[in-house]
Structure formats: structure tokens, C-alpha cells
Structure 1
Amino acid sequence: MYNNSFFKKILIVATVVFLYSCDKDYNEVGGDLIGGNNFDLNKASYGVLGYNQKTGPIQSNNLEVNPLGIYSNSNFGETTANFNTQLTLPVFTTVVSSNPYVESVVLTLPYYTDPSQTKVNADGSRAYVLDSIYGVEKAKMKLSIYESGYFMRDSDPDSGFQQQQKYFTDQNTEFNNLKKATLLNDSSDKSQNEEFFFNPEEHVVVTTDSITNVKSTAYTPPGMKLNLSRDYFKTRIIDAVNSGKLASNDVFKNYFRGLYFKMEKSGSSAGNLAMLNFRAGKITIKYNEDLVSTTAAGITTTTRVKKTIELNLTGNTVSLLNNDFTTSGAAYAALPSTGNRTDGDDKLFLRGGEGSVAVLQLFDPKDLKGYDANGVLTGPNGVSDELDDLRNPADGKKLLVNEANLVFHIDADEMSSSNEPQRIYLYDFKNSRPLVDYSLDPTSNSTNPKKSKAFFDGMIKKDATSKRGVTYKIRITNQIRNLINNKDSTNVSLGLVVTEDIGIIASYKVKTPNSFISQAPKASVMNPLGTILYSGKSTVPVEKRLKLEIYYTKPN
């Protein structure tokens, strides 16, 4: 009995795996073949109304990655990205002995690099190429770091401390006005302040053993490495230990309220912008102190010892963005906050950060007729006539949707000199949640999670010669199946944004919500780029026009 039961279970599991594999292969292969018209399928195209919706200032606290720097874009103006973060203590310090002396205070923060382009030299050193950086390579900027005077709360008192405290992209003036006066990165090396740049070179540290005199070389990947004021941290940190200021994070975060990173132009340099994981950063304070001890015989000895205090950049954070349209981005700046909701806009401007969303409505909105439960024609019913006809085919034969896509054509002329977002994201705009096609997509990428949800897609398709973007495609097969097969399904408005990470689906609040928009995807706030797409308006050339493409079959 045991063996029979065991083998039956194995057979069932094997059958399920086999069927899943076949279905998975069919979907993936079928999707490619349908796109190439290799199946004898019917194809129908339907109109899509699209208009622009600006977010205005938007929530930007505690993002997974944050921009830092200055980025000029001919289509979207110039953005200066500043940053504020609390510091936290991984280890509490309650006592500092006598005669402390600070040897060094160093802030380190790793940069993103492209591992596929890293080269290893014969001596063990490496040549790196920075990733997630936009603008002129090695462009100089003025970087100023100050102690923050702004206390960032964990929770919102207006909600009874039940919700996270929100901070917004337009609060730079508040944080700047409350910063402490002393410049912390005050090194005489101008590359650490007045002429700072994102350096792709690795850090090399050569040490000599005090006993053997043997030299050793250590290499660390590229990253921000700044010497901070020793005197300042001696006074503010080391001298504050014995008064209990570093005994808990709650006390410490109120005492030392964090760091404010301020970016400015350096001379005539346009600057550039990098995406950074500030939570991987830290401040290392190395100091010496006298450790006094007394033996049982009453003999007192003093030993000079080395100590270290680390401060992590893992508290509350906020991305602070200043947008300037005086020299570029005039067309975007001139867009109304809400576009033409009746006829649609000619072009869709997607912009991350404090940016804009495209709002889409599938099917022609014309509603002159309807159908009752028996399929008999009636008057207008609040449903698009195109959708009504799909639900109630004249021959009575329900169509079987094999695939449904939205293909977005990039305005290549306008985007020719701009960095292009690698991915866009389509979601339920009305309810601020993912579409069913996103949720049902099981594809993942262990080496690069940002490339997961590959069947849902949204990744840029580039021209083989120019290497510039041509289109984005998003599959919404199940969304369309539900609309056709379930007459109770609502044809909700869809939102389209740039995304920094397809795996992040949470939404962030706009600072001033209205009847048109109240929130936008968090991953869009994280992305510093923008793109311009053609809409589905009749004034757009047919070959560039946005359409809903449905591939289907009908039963005999």
C-alpha cells in the first residue's frame, strides 16, 4: 500500500510539472510567433485614448535608491538632486576614556558598476565602468555635506502615529535652511568638495606591516570616499559619548539629526547624476584614547588604544529635487497639469521623479448603443461600443484572445540625444495596483531582478544599428480576456510610467492630490529619466500611432 501510494503521488507530481512546462513553453514560444504572424490568427486593432498627467511634488522618502547630482535633459529640463539621511548606530557606545584623539573620519558609499565591463589587470587591480550614471562622464560638481538640523519622524502625528511620515521632493528649501553651518567635507583635496565627480577608479590602499615591513595592497571597488572634519566629529560625536548621546538610536537621531548632501554647479560644468544606494554607506570614526587600569597591588597603568565608531546611513531618508526649465524642457514645462481627457494628447511625456504619468483609456469611448442580457441592442450603456461588440459578436461566436499588446513608439527625433529609460510600467491607474498580467507573470531573473516579469515586458526595444530605442511593448492578454468574458469587469483607466525597478509596485502620494491624481508608482519616483511616446490620437501618423492589438481565433 505504501509503495502504491508513493508511486501514485510521484506520477501526479510528474504530470503536473509536465503540463506546466508545456503550457509555459507554449505561451513563451506562441508569444514570439504571434508577433511574427506565423500563426494563422485574426488580428484586430482598437483605439487608445491617452493624455498626460503631471504629479507635481510627490512623496520621496525611504526610496531603495536615490539620485544625487545634476542632470540636464533637452526634453525635461535640468534636475538638481539633493539628499538628506538620518544616521544610525550599529553598535552603541557609552564610554570614551580620557584624552581621546580623532585620527580620521571617512564617509564611504559604493557606486553601481557594470560587471560585464569590468577588466582585471595583471597586478590584480581592476578597471571599472560605472552604471546608473547619467550625463557627461567625470563631470565636476560642488558637493557640500552638512549636519542636518531637520528631525525626520518615523510616523505621522496627524494620523495618530499609525502611518509613516511622508516627505516630498519639493522640500529642499526646508532642509537647506535648517542645515548646520559647518562644512563637513572640508578636505583641501578639491575632488572631495568644490570639484567633486563620480570617479570610476577603484580605491587602492597600501599598508606596511610594522614588524616585517612587508607592504600589502588592498583594492576596493569605486565609491564615494570623503574625509570629513575630524574636529567637528570630535566635538559632536566623541565628546558626546559619556553624556549618553550614543547609548541608543532614539536619543542619537534626535541629537545628531543626520547628513544633508547639497549639489551645485562647479564652474561651467553641466554636471551629471548617479543613482546611489545610500543605505550601503557609512561613516567610520577612528580615534585613540588612554585606557587606565589598576592592578590588585594598586599599580596604575595607562595604555594608548585604538577605537572605532561606525555610523550607518540607514535611517529615514528623502530625495530632494529642484527642477529648472529656463534653458531646456520648454515643451514639457508648457504642458498643463492635466492633458486633454476628451480627445487625448498627441504625445505622451513620461517623466520620473517629480514628473508625469500617461493615462490611457482602451477602446474608442463612443457609446451609442448597448446590449441587454439576451444580446438585444439597446441604447447607450456607459460601455464603449467597441467593447460591447466584442462581448456580443454578431455571429454569436465568442472570440478566443490568444494575445493582446500595447506597442508604444518612441519619438526618436526628440529622444535622439537623451538617456532613455530601460523600462516602462503599466498599471491600474484608478485603483493604483498591478494589472492581472503582471501578477500572473512567473518569470524571474536571479542575476538581474529588474529584468523579471519578462512576459509582461515593458523593456525598451532598440534599433540594431543606432542602438537607440524604437518601441516598448506590454502584454495585457488577461486584462482583455477579463474585459470581454466578464461583462461586470470595468474598463478602468491605465497608468503608464517609467520605472526604476519592475519588482516595486507600491504607490507614493502626491503632495497636493486632486480629482485627477492622488498617487503614482514609487518606482517611477526613483527613476530620474523620461521619454516621449506617440499617443493613439488620430493626428499621429498611422505607423506610429498607439493601438491595442488583439490576436484571436474563433471556434468553427
Structure 2
Amino acid sequence: MNLQTYVKQIITILIMVMFISCDKDFNEIGTDIVGGDNDHYLLDKTTEFSVMAYNQKLGPVAMNNLPINPLGIYTNPAFGTTTANFVTQLEVASTSLNRTFNNVDPTLYQTLPIVDSVILNIPYFSKLKTTTTNSSGEIVKTYQLDSIYGTANSKFRLSIHESNYFLRNLDPETQFTEQQAFYNDNQNIENNINSARLNNAPLVNTEFIKNADGRENEQFYFNKNERITKTKNDENEDVLARSVPSMRLHLDTNFFLNKIINAPSGQLANNDVFKNYFRGLFFKVESLGNTNSMAMLNFAGGTVTVYYREDSKVTDAQGVVTYNKVDKTFLMNLSGNTVSLQSNSNENADYLTATNSPAEASRLYLKGGQGSMAIIDLFGPDTNGNGVADELEDLRTRGWLINEANLTFYIDKDKVSNPLTVEPNRIFLFDLNNRRTLIDYAFDQTTFPGYAKQNKFVHGGYILDDEGKNLSQAKDQTTGIVTKKGTKYKIRITDHVKNLVRKDSTNVRLGLVVTETIGNVGFTKLKTPIGTIKTVPTMSALNPLGTILYGSHSSIADDKRLKLEIYYTKPN
């Protein structure tokens, strides 16, 4: 092992020790310093500074080509109901491109190709919990689904349709120099679907399709069971295939016979041509009255496989021609352009009133998707009109050595107490003026092996309990949902504040949103800019969750009010 490796290990250990130390109650800092307030000593102290926070309602957001996408219907009593549909293009796998079928000249073959089945498969985010062996000696695996919100096994009507809307790559209004933006309220997409339903598995159980309860269409739910499918081998024996939990639907065989096997000449030559010919699939969800279930899905990991048979012509040495049926597959990937179509309904009156008010907020409403964010000004107002907040101007004259700076956001537990409310695991603070992360984000290189959503844990933003413990991994072992209610979120902005004090950096406005993951810091467009706000973080746009935090208004009790807390050393 070389010196560089040793150094990296030492640095990692030191960072972990610092993180553990930082999780202690900072109110203990300085309590054992001899000398009290005597300026003959270097003293560790803490003080609080003003923050002014506001709500901002967001309109429609560009939601095309997101890394993951929600699907389903989720009701948060504090905000309302979000319905998430989805549309995606398809691309022919390289092994199936420019395929020639035995229907070009029917006189050359005894029979035309036959489509046996068409399978849509999209794996869920899941984790293997246990592996056991039953009394028959069969291996049984149980899984826990991740990123499923709402009520376990809640059902909804799921319909898959052919989309007739072309999702172009580039925007003609920018002379084709920028990616085309598709917003979550785009009704033209849903208005241009083929009314025929493609997931048409019969509501009876057959040898290969178990759908008597309508689980593939009329009463779909996110099933956490291992997928076990049965096929026949060449000896007509049953063969079991096992796979992780997934959305696995049987699609209409006649549709794909006509669309793929009987496609006009040249339509399967390349994917540019194919995506204009077969413009994609539309996933439509409909409530069954009490539906409350939504999942974050990696649609890009999905496939559509056409299983078909066609004649194989064999001519022996004597010129005798025979035909054998050969099993083949035609594979399409759920890739290309995509759009998440999210809509809100039954929105809570308090939420709408608060987020449409320009006043300093007593409650901060953070909601993903076409939701809302918070705007934060550090150090309070600038009363003398010199462009610098009064408290910051005073702080710059004190010569303090700043050791730590935090924003702590307390959750209004009364407003999110409903058991149906799933609280966001993490919130994200960013430079709203310049549409970028804070310096503390950039400096924090800490990682959490095997779970990237926990990275940058010094910068923070996790949901915490009364004792300051991270709840974002405290999940129910059956549903995978964090069921214990949080108390607060804490974000460290030490380096940002140091730059404001020592380097006279601009005291920019900050934006605060919910986030799906801390690792992706891209931004996506608002359909209608709000003043200078033209974009929001992409990971907030795709997240369906929300939370309500105490704001900065003087009406809030001091122990819950949003404040900037700074720990510093005062020189003698």
C-alpha cells in the first residue's frame, strides 16, 4: 500500500470523527471554558442572527428526461393530491435493429410469423431482505421496495396506450440550439394517445398469466414479491425464471404484430426513423376512489419484449425443403425522450394562501413537483440602504473566528401529523441568485458507501429526530417508508458565512426545496419565470413529497423560529 493510500484513509477517518463530533449538541460548546465573558481569554461562544424567509408557489415545471420518474396517485393532506402519468419513447435494441421477418414474401414460407406474447417489464427499486428454503426445497426470496409512497398495496387503474405525440429533441424556438422543454401540464400529449388499451391481460387466470384480480390493469399495485415466471423448454417441461420485483405487464399481441412484425419497409432501420414511426407509450393512472400509492421508477431500465415464432426454412442435400418453427424475440428499450406529467388537485387552502402571499412567512411550505419553495435572506434587513444587511455589516467589524454556522428548520408537527403524510428525507439549500450550490456543498466530500443519497452528510439537510439522529434510513421493514415523524432539518453553511464575513462576498438570496437525492444538482425550467427565478432544482421537480417548517415571522415561538446560529471564537 503506497503513501497516498494511507493519507486518503487517514483523511477519511478524520472526517468521520469530525462528523460524529459535530452531531453533538452545540449548546455544550464553551460551557466549560474558564473565565466566562472575560476578554482576557479566547472564548468559544454561540449567538443567533436574523433570517427572513418567504414562500413561493411554483407553476408548471419542465419535466422531460428526468433520471427517475413518479407514477401513481399520492395524497398528502397538508398539500393535496398529486397524480403522476408518464410518457416515454422506445428504442429498438441494437440486436433487433433492421430486423427482417419471414413475412416479406409469404410464398417462401408455410406460415406467417406468430406473436405469442409481449412483455413490458420495469424493475422496481428494491432490496433483498431474506432468502429461505420452503418445505418443498424451493428457494424463497423476500424483498423490500424502496421509494414507494402512500398506503401499502393501494390499488389504481393502470392503462398503457400508444402515444401519437412526437417528443422532439431540440426546440425550434431556439433555432434548435437547446433541448426541447416539455412541461408537466402538457395536455397535448395525453390528448394524442391511441384510445385502445395495450395492457389487456384477461381477468382470468391462465397457465402463464395470473390476473384474475386485475393486478395488471384494473387493480394494479406495486407488488413486492419476487417475479416467478413459467415457460416450457424443448422437452415441454416447466422452467421457472426468477427476477426481482417489477412491473410486468402482458401487452396486446395483435397490436405488436401489426406495429412491429408487419411494419412498413424501412421503419426499423434505425432509431431516429423508428421513434417517429412508433412514438412511444403513455402510462395513465386513474383512482379507484381511495387510491394512495406512488412509486419512483427507473423507466430507463424497462424493456418491451416481443416473443414470436416464425418458419425456419431448411433444404437438405437432396433438395427437400422442410420448415421448423423457431422462437425469437424482438427487444425494445424504454429510452429516448420522456416526460413526467404531474397534476395537483384538492389543494389545501392553508397551503395555497401561504404560498401565494409575499409576506414574511410564519410557516414554510416545501412541496416538490409543481409545488412550492422557500426564499431565505440571511442577517435580516438592510435599514440604512447601503446594500448590506445591518447584522452582517456589524459582524464584519467584530473580528470573530467563525467555527460553525447552521440553519435549523423545525417541522410543524401538527400540520404533518397525519399518518398518510410521508416526510421528505432531505431538503436542499442553494444559491438562488446564481443557480448553483453553496460552497459548503462543494467542500463536503463525505460519502456513504452503498447509499449515495446519504452523501455530503456534513453539509446535512437530513430529517432529524428530537435527539438530532438521522431518520432518513429509519424505514419500516415492510413498506420501506420512514414512519417515525421528524423534528427538524439542519444545514451547515459555515464556509458560506465565513466568505460573507471575511471576504465580503455578496449576501445572495437562498432557495430551499425538498430533494430526491443530494448528488444531482441540475436545474430545470419554470414554464413561467417568477421575477428572476427561472429554474428550480431538478431533484425537487421530480419529488412528490412535501413538508411544513416554522418560518421566521416574529409570531413563532423563539425555540421554533428559523434563525442563523453561529459558533465563534472571540479573540482577547
TM-score under structure 2 length normalisation: 0.86
Q: For 1:290, what is the secondary structure of its paired residue?
A: strand
Q: Measure how far apart 1:366 and its partner are.
A: 3.6
Q: For 2:276, what is the secondary structure of its paired residue?
A: helix
1:194-209 paired onto structure 2 within 5 Å: 194-207=218-231, 209=233
- Structure 2 CA distance for aligned equivalents of residues 482 and 500 of structure 1: 28
Q: Is residue 506 of structure 2 the alignment partner of residue 490 of structure 1?
A: yes
The corresponding residue for 2:271 is 249
Q: 1:30 to 1:127 in 2, by over 3 A?
A: closer
Q: 1:58 to 1:401 in 2, by over 3 A?
A: same
Q: 1:292 to 1:136 in 2, by over 3 A?
A: same
The corresponding residue for 1:5 is none
Cα RMSD of the aligned pairs, angstroms, is 2.2
The corresponding residue for 2:217 is 193
Q: For 1:251, what is the secondary structure of its paired residue?
A: helix
Cα deviations across residues 480-500 of structure 1 (Å, max 9, x unaligned)? Answer: 00000012x110000000000
Contact 2:354 2:361 in 1 (8 A): no
Contact 1:94 1:244 in 2 (8 A): no
1:93-172 paired onto structure 2 within 5 Å: 93-98=98-103, 99-115=112-128, 117-118=129-130, 120-122=132-134, 123-171=138-186
Contact 1:121 1:127 in 2 (8 A): no
The corresponding residue for 2:353 is 334
- Structure 1 CA distance for aligned equivalents of residues 125 and 71 of structure 2: 13
- Structure 1 CA distance for aligned equivalents of residues 25 and 440 of structure 2: 17
- Structure 2 CA distance for aligned equivalents of residues 119 and 349 of structure 1: 42
Question: 2:535 is matched by which residue type in structure 1?
Answer: Q
Contact 2:75 2:150 in 1 (8 A): yes
Cα deviations across residues 247-269 of structure 1 (Å, max 9, x unaligned)? Answer: 10001000000000111112x33
- Structure 2 CA distance for aligned equivalents of residues 507 and 137 of structure 1: 32
The corresponding residue for 1:414 is 415
Q: For 2:423, what is the secondary structure of its paired residue?
A: coil
- Structure 1 CA distance for aligned equivalents of residues 92 and 460 of structure 2: 41
Q: Is residue 252 of structure 2 the alignment partner of residue 229 of structure 1?
A: yes
- Structure 1 CA distance for aligned equivalents of residues 296 and 382 of structure 2: 44
The corresponding residue for 2:458 is 455
Contact 1:367 1:382 in 2 (8 A): no
Q: Is residue 304 of structure 2 the alignment partner of residue 283 of structure 1?
A: yes
Taking only the aligned residue pairs, the percentage that are identical comes to 43
Q: For 1:127, what is the secondary structure of its paired residue?
A: strand
Q: Is residue 284 of structure 2 the alignment partner of residue 262 of structure 1?
A: yes
- Structure 1 CA distance for aligned equivalents of residues 445 and 366 of structure 2: 27
Q: Measure how far apart 1:359 and its partner are.
A: 0.4
- Structure 2 CA distance for aligned equivalents of residues 354 and 310 of structure 1: 35
1:436-515 paired onto structure 2 within 5 Å: 436-463=439-466, 467-487=484-504, 489-515=505-531
Name structure 2 gaps, 5 residues minimum: 34-43, 104-111, 204-213, 472-482
Q: For 1:195, what is the secondary structure of its paired residue?
A: coil
1:520-531 paired onto structure 2 within 5 Å: 520-531=536-547
Question: 2:342 is matched by which residue type in structure 1?
Answer: L
Among 13, 26, 32, the residue aligned to 2:23: 32
The corresponding residue for 2:571 is 555
- Structure 2 CA distance for aligned equivalents of residues 175 and 360 of structure 1: 36
- Structure 2 CA distance for aligned equivalents of residues 119 and 337 of structure 1: 52
- Structure 1 CA distance for aligned equivalents of residues 121 and 375 of structure 2: 41
Question: 1:305 is matched by which residue type in structure 2?
Answer: V
Q: Measure how far apart 1:218 and its partner are.
A: 2.9
Name structure 1 gaps, 5 residues minimum: 1-9, 369-379
The corresponding residue for 1:184 is 198
Q: For 1:387, what is the secondary structure of its paired residue?
A: helix
Cα deviations across residues 411-441 of structure 1 (Å, max 9, x unaligned)? Answer: 0011111110000000001111000000000
Cα deviations across residues 183-234 of structure 1 (Å, max 9, x unaligned)? Answer: 10111232211111111222112445444x7655332221111100000110
Contact 1:110 1:281 in 2 (8 A): yes
Cα deviations across residues 313-372 of structure 1 (Å, max 9, x unaligned)? Answer: 0111000011102xx5221133354632xxx1110000001111100000121433xxxx
Question: 1:177 is matched by which residue type in structure 2?
Answer: N
- Structure 2 CA distance for aligned equivalents of residues 351 and 50 of structure 1: 16
Q: For 1:51, what is the secondary structure of its paired residue?
A: strand
- Structure 1 CA distance for aligned equivalents of residues 133 and 405 of structure 2: 49
Q: For 2:279, what is the secondary structure of its paired residue?
A: coil
- Structure 1 CA distance for aligned equivalents of residues 275 and 371 of structure 2: 32
- Structure 2 CA distance for aligned equivalents of residues 140 and 384 of structure 1: 53
Contact 2:83 2:343 in 1 (8 A): yes
Q: 1:53 to 1:22 in 2, by over 3 A?
A: same
Q: 1:113 to 1:27 in 2, by over 3 A?
A: same
- Structure 2 CA distance for aligned equivalents of residues 22 and 529 of structure 1: 34
- Structure 1 CA distance for aligned equivalents of residues 306 and 14 of structure 2: 58
- Structure 2 CA distance for aligned equivalents of residues 227 and 555 of structure 1: 73
Q: Measure how far apart 1:385 and its partner are.
A: 1.3
Q: For 1:512, what is the secondary structure of its paired residue?
A: strand
Q: Is residue 549 of structure 2 the alignment partner of residue 544 of structure 1?
A: no
- Structure 1 CA distance for aligned equivalents of residues 183 and 76 of structure 2: 22
- Structure 2 CA distance for aligned equivalents of residues 332 and 263 of structure 1: 25
Among 375, 381, 386, the residue aligned to 2:386: 381
Deviates further, 451-460 or 191-200:
191-200
Q: Measure how far apart 1:118 and its partner are.
A: 4.4
Deviates further, 459-468 or 139-148:
459-468
Question: 1:261 is matched by which residue type in structure 2?
Answer: F
Q: Measure how far apart 1:33 and its partner are.
A: 4.5
Q: 1:306 to 1:81 in 2, by over 3 A?
A: same
- Structure 2 CA distance for aligned equivalents of residues 462 and 34 of structure 1: 13
Q: 1:18 to 1:153 in 2, by over 3 A?
A: closer
Among 426, 433, 447, the residue aligned to 2:429: 426
Q: Measure how far apart 1:26 and its partner are.
A: 6.5
Contact 1:338 1:516 in 2 (8 A): no
Q: Measure how far apart 1:514 and its partner are.
A: 3.0
Contact 1:119 1:128 in 2 (8 A): no
Cα deviations across residues 237-293 of structure 1 (Å, max 9, x unaligned)? Answer: 1111x6121110001000000000111112x33231111110111111000111234
Question: 1:329 is matched by which residue type in structure 2?
Answer: N
Q: For 1:231, what is the secondary structure of its paired residue?
A: helix
The corresponding residue for 2:333 is 312
Question: 1:256 is matched by which residue type in structure 2?
Answer: F
Q: Measure how far apart 1:18 and its partner are.
A: 8.7
